[in-house]
Amino acid sequence: MFGKIMDFRLCEDSLVIVTDDTPIYVEAVNSNCFRIYEQKAYNSFAVTDYTKGKLNAKKVDGGVSITSSFGKVIIRDYLMMEFYDNNDNLLLKSNDSNFKRTYETNCLAQFEGHSVLEEEKMKVRLLFDIKENELFYGLGDKTGWLNKRGYEYQNYNSDIPEPHVDSFRSLYKSIPFYLSLCDELTYGVFFDNTFRTNFDFGKFNNILTIESIKGEIDFYFIYGNNLKEVVSNYTALTGRYPLPQRWSLGSHQSRWGYACKEHIDEVVKGYEENDIPLGAVHLDIDYMENYKVFTYSEKKYPKLKEYIKSLNEKGVKVVTIIDPGVKVEEGYFMYDEAIKNGYAATKNGETYINAVWPGDSIYPNYLKEDTRLWWGDKTKILTDLGVSGIWNDMNEPASFKGPLPDDVEFFDGDNYYYHDEIHNVYGHLMSKATYDGLKKNTGLRPFVITRACYAGSQKYSTMWTGDNHSMWGHVQMAIPQQCNMGLSGLPFIGTDIGGFGGDSTAELMARWIEVGCFSPLLRNHSSTGTKRQEPWCFNDEVTKIYRKHVNLRYELIPYYYDLFHEHESNGLPIIRPAILEFQSDKKLTNQNDQFMVGEYLLVSPVVLPGQEQKLVYLPDSEYGWYDYFNGEKVSSGYSIRSAKLNEVPLFVRGGSIIPTAKVTRNLEEDPQELILKCFPGEGNYTHYVDDYKTFNYQNGEYNKYLFSLKDDILEVKTLHNGYDKTYNKLTVVYKNKTHEFNFKDGKYRLV
């Protein structure tokens, strides 16, 4: 593919390396990244617009040394690469051993039912040395533990109903981005290839392998002085999640099996009677007329518009599922319009048909802009009914009559692409169409959930981890899985609380809500045919535990909203591993049973049955740590904490200021009071307020406040005043005492 280097030349904004085979292009991107690729006009599905920096180049032995303001790359013959930072530290170096993994084909093992991998013919293969202490994170939605060293994964969006275990190479999402930490050195790699790709982090030896079955090299080497900077620089490249509507941060209830209005009435009544806040109900495929998208059953949901209005008046939003498969049925408007206008994928020039829930179905060609506009416009059917969000499912794309063949055709208006290239971005493009349609039809910040996605999908959608199961292994996996999704640029994430498949026990549900109440997306979801898992379906104890932790979540919503505002500015995740905050602490490099919410809160939930105590590890912090609930100071290092069934150990860094609110059933209401929970030490905190639903904040319609804590004095200062509503009352909780003030700038003594 790449031969010996013959020459190089600097153009306006890139370097071209001429080889005796394929030319190599190099760019400096966003002042923190080298892009190395082989096609001048490659169109990325993930990357947003970027600025190009200045490059300098000179000949070195066997290659070219290229420098920019942030680092250096040496490219030698046959695309052998070495990346250095500005201190001349070697970060990544190509391996020239021509290592090729060997696979054993064992017929007896296959006959007994074992899966045996066989060597694939890969068009692109990049090999790099792995350093002795190097650790790997990222790759989005994958099984396994936090540190991915020693694991091998494949990026091929897959709907797998069996319980997900560590040996699964693929799940629903394909994020070809990883982060490296080796001692104090960090970097990231984004391999922008939408074909099926493999990442092997030293499964067989100390060689990192990145390979793709087809396509070309489009390789971004991302610099950063620490893991935070790498994540921030990656999300600057692929995009960040825009501020969500505040209601979406509340409690969601869903089930495949809410087949009629009466089922929803039962759910809403159950939440009311048990005094548990409910922000949204989700309607799975049963609400549709014969599973036809953009329809609803008048028989099951009569007068749906009036019904949704009545739910909204109670503070309960409605989110409806939509699948990509359009039923083959003449006279059905979606099918007729798709065929008439050429909106469907084809095979050998004919409309391609497979099957999903409605039976024989066609697949919209979201690659084509006209198709996306058409699909987005159809969301008005749902928003006119009062629907507040759309849940995109089955968009890997899933199919019932075998997988879509690689040669299914997608036409973008100029060129044909095939399914093997579009597969991993199908859900990404569906989310974009849905997001753009909702934004156009409502003017509000869209709420879109997707199961399948690609890098950059965070610009359009929230995600969940798909069809998990009611098993302890999956509540354990929820922690590293969500942490790696956050490190991969996906901030608005969650798992199906209680598990989608299987039957949750009372203890499992109690422990799962103690994890799930901290997930950015808090949704209880289960499958038809399984045990009902609304919180009151277990026993009074579980109901009380569920209520307690949903209330805790609602109390913390101002903090979560600030974290989303922070993400839009710097790309950092909401849920994050502690190693992101305490990078020098080696005890955190593969910590899988704790996580942080933002930079101030550390959660250490129980994820094993029968435990009533938890071994907690708190890294060194300047002003120590405090128990969030009782204000008791807690020593750094290891300690054993009480963790009875109704308790989740939750800690906050000294000097922290945590904005909270009184629990309300309706998150549409503007809060009148801000409650600050302050912990001894010194610190600053910026709090953000807007109308919680429109894009007016982008025109300056927001308020921003700076809170500073020092020597038992809290200072309040308005940084920006562009929104006409503000708090009337400020309540401060400090050293277990409560102080009440009028909300205005000033200094307030707390002792």
Residues labelled as active-site residues: 393, 396, 467
Name residue 205's amino acid: N
Nearest alpha-carbon partner for 237 in 93, 367, 82, 44: 44
Output phi, psi for 370, to 5 deg.
Answer: -60, -35
Q: Quote the CA–CA distance of 133 and 202 in Å, as a whole number.
A: 12
What share of residues in the chain are helix, strand, coil (percent, to 5)?
25, 30, 45
Q: Which amino acid is at 670?
A: D
Burial call 516-539: b when 16+ CB within 10 Å, e when fewer: bbbbbbbbbbbbeebbebbbbbbe
User: If you write DSSP's letter for every residue of 273-291 in order, what string do you get?
Assistant: HTT----EEEE-GGGSSTT
Q: Three-class SS of residue 321?
A: strand
In this structure, the dihedral spanned by the alpha carbons of residues 690, 691, 694 and 700, taken in order and rounded to 10 degrees, is -40
Q: Identity (one letter) of the amino acid at 45?
A: F
What is the distance between the alpha carbons of residues 324 and 341, in angstroms, rounded to a whole number?
Answer: 17
Instruction: Return the structure tokens found at 444.
Output: 């509000």
Structure-token match 């965070």, residue found: 458
Token pair in block for residue 106: 């064992």
Strand 177-182, strand 409-411: pairing:
unpaired
User: Where does residue 13 fall: left (phi above 0), alpha (psi -120 to 50 degrees), or beta otherwise?
Assistant: alpha
**Bridge partners, 597 (sequence order):** 575, 601
The number of residues making up the chain comes to 751
- Cβ neighbors of 220 (< 8 A, separation 6 or more) are 29, 33, 34, 35, 36, 188, 189, 190, 191, 192, 237
User: Residue 405's CB: how many other CB atoms inside 10 A?
Assistant: 12
Instruction: Label each residue of 521-566 as H, E or C.
Output: CEEECCCCCCCCCCHHHCCHHHHHHHHHHHHHHHHCHHHHHHHHHH
How far is residue 678's CA from residue 680's CA, in Å, rounded to a whole number? 7
